[in-house]
Amino acid sequence: MKKRPDPEKREQALANIRRDQELRAQSYRGQALKILPHVCGRCGREFSGKRLSELTVHHKDGNHMNNPPDGSNWELLCLYCHDDQHETRASDGYYEGAGLAYTDQEEQSGFRPFENLKNLLKPKDDKETP
């Protein structure tokens, strides 16, 4: 005979599920899934049910902080097309300017993680003495 779950634990689990659903709905992925058709914007495959997790949100301008509520900067792409999109843009030099932000940050903070890398990579007999 099956034992019935504790009603308090059941209610707590349901409350957790509802909270998680609300948080997902507030995320830009949740918003995109509400307003955009569940179709890959590149290959045209349709997604539903468990396979919906294979759809990702691609930011058209590459800026993950640009999330307008109308979804104008988003497109839904399947995992494969999304990876291909980023590989294509990387090979075209689309992301080359992104490294400049990190360089500026290093200069402002004074922290240079690779400052001594050249000396660390030299053979022991060629190391410079400070």
pTM for the full predicted model: 0.53
Query: How far is 38 from 55, CA to CA, in rounded Å?
Result: 8
Please report the pLDDT score of residue 100 as a whole number. 39
Any domain includes 15: yes
Q: Is residue 105 part of a domain?
A: no
Q: What confidence score (pLDDT) does residue 40 get?
A: 94
Asked if 29 contacts 53 with a C-beta cutoff of 8 angstroms, the reply is no
Domain housing 81: 11-96
Q: What is the pLDDT along the chain (130 residues), one digit of tens a residue?
A: 677 778 888 899 889 888 887 776 678 888 899 999 999 999 999 999 999 999 999 998 888 888 888 989 999 999 999 999 888 766 666 555 444 344 444 445 566 777 777 777 777 665 555 5
Domain membership flag for residue 86: yes
Q: What's 79's domain CATH number?
A: 3.40.1800
State the total domains in the chain.
Answer: 1
**DSSP assigned state of 129:** P
Contact 48, 38 (CB under 8 A): yes
CB 54 within 8 A of CB 82: no
6 located within any domain: no
